[in-house]
Amino acid sequence: MLPEDCLSIILSFTSPEDALRASLVSSCFRRASDSDLVWERFLPSDYAEILSNSVTPLMFCSKKELFQCLSDSVLIDGGNKVFKLEKSSGKKCYILSAKELSITWSSNPLYWSWISMAESRFCRVAVLRTTDWLEIGGKIRTKMLTPNTTYGAYLIMKISERAYGLDLMASEITLEVGNQVCSSNVFLKHGEGSKEMGNLGHKKEGSVREREDGWMEVELGEFYSGEKDEQVKMSLMEVKGCHLKGGLLIEGIEFRPKH
């Protein structure tokens, strides 16, 4: 008995998942849930800026179609970042390419090489040839992410069959937000399991996990994206072993909501 516009307003206070579920109730609910009023609320406030930074123009006829486009991986910022909306919640996800990271000696072809891979989202990935000093860092500002959300940071990587020296000594992982620092250790080898983070000085062991996209990931830590803008810095390093290591492929660092 409610007017269609009223239904749309109500649905706009739910979530993308709820709106899609409501569209199955009746034709009236379907029209209400398809309206731009609903999907405008589910889009991030800076979606116009994201569209302007897209490598390939997106084609859409409604805000719902725009949401569906952004829920797929969209290359932005000259192809150095991937943006994506989580389908169920509309929360932001980002992947920074290896080119966006700080990788010690990555410009020296004696230590690192940059190659193209068909299975990568980006045109180049970093391949560790050999080094005794492994240090990879990244950073992001919380204003880029969805406010009031707990995020995880994940290093996307592969370990080649000819890798050596990566698991002789644990790599140290740190994540820093303001004056809060979390730390853990991880052995870079194939394996499964969950990762726990502890306060600096209370280190726990992480693990390398398989991803659905064929890559592997190491969780670098989690943080809360609040209302204020803060810089989040994370790193993975192994600089104490003084032994040579190689065979590590780096695609980038992903930031996605944790549930």
Query: In which band, very low, low, confident or very high, does the pLDDT at 191 lie, cut at 50, 70 and 90?
Result: low
Higher-pLDDT residue of 170, 192 = 170
Q: Count the neighbouring beta carbons within 10 Å of the beta carbon of residue 156.
A: 23
Task: Round to whole Å and give the CA distance between 49 and 76.
Answer: 10
Task: Round to whole Å and give the CA distance between 41 and 227.
Answer: 18
Cα dihedral 92/226/234/248 (nearest 10): -20
Task: Round to whole Å and give the CA distance between 56 and 165.
Answer: 40
Name the DSSP letter for residue 245: B
The predicted pLDDT at position 50 comes to 97
pLDDT at 96 over 90: yes
Task: Round to whole Å and give the CA distance between 207 and 100.
Answer: 24
**Arithmetic mean of pLDDT, 26-43:** 93
Q: Are residue 123 and residue 242 in the same domain, yes or no?
A: yes
Higher-pLDDT residue of 152, 4 = 152
Q: Break the chain down into helix, strand, coil percent, rounded to 5.
A: 20, 40, 40
**Arithmetic mean of pLDDT, 79-94:** 97
CB 72 within 8 A of CB 49: no
The predicted pLDDT at position 79 comes to 96
Single out the residue in 39, 72, 105 at which a domain terminates.
72
**Arithmetic mean of pLDDT, 60-70:** 97
**Arithmetic mean of pLDDT, 67-84:** 97
Query: If you write DSSP's letter for every residue of 75-101 in order, what string do you get?
Result: EEGGGTEEEEE-TTT--EEEEEEGGGS
Q: In the chain, which residue ranges form alpha helices assigned H by DSSP?
A: 4-11, 16-22, 27-33, 36-42, 47-52, 63-70
pLDDT at 131 over 70: yes
Q: Are residue 50 and residue 147 in the same domain, yes or no?
A: no
Task: Round to whole Å and give the CA distance between 94 and 140.
Answer: 10
Q: Which residues contact 78 (CB under 8 A, 6 or more apart)?
A: 55
Q: Which residues contact 118 (CB under 8 A, 6 or more apart)?
A: none
Amino acid identity, residue 28?
A: C
The predicted pLDDT at position 248 comes to 97
The predicted pLDDT at position 205 comes to 65
**Is 77 contained in some domain?**
no
Least confident among 35-39, 108-112, 202-206, 209-213: 202-206
CB 130 within 8 A of CB 246: yes
Average pLDDT score over the chain:
92
The predicted pLDDT at position 194 comes to 37
110: Cα separation from own chain's centroid: 29
User: Based on the structure, what is the number of domains in the chain?
Assistant: 2
27, burial (CB in 10 Å: exposed 0-12, middle 13-18, buried 19+): exposed
The predicted pLDDT at position 159 comes to 96
The predicted pLDDT at position 31 comes to 92
The predicted pLDDT at position 197 comes to 40
Q: Could you tell me the pTM of the whole model? A: 0.90
**Is 83 contained in some domain?**
no
Domain hosting residue 204, numbered range: 94-257
The predicted pLDDT at position 2 comes to 79
User: Kind and range of the H or E element at 219?
Assistant: strand 216-225
Q: What is the pLDDT of residues 198-250, one digit of tens each?
A: 443 445 567 899 999 999 999 999 999 998 999 999 999 999 999 999 999 99
The predicted pLDDT at position 172 comes to 96
CB 169 within 8 A of CB 238: yes
Q: Are residue 49 and residue 173 in the same domain, yes or no?
A: no
Q: Are residue 114 and residue 219 in the same domain, yes or no?
A: yes
**Is 13 contained in some domain?**
yes
Q: Are residue 219 and residue 134 in the same domain, yes or no?
A: yes
**Arithmetic mean of pLDDT, 92-112:** 98
Q: Are residue 63 and residue 116 in the same domain, yes or no?
A: no
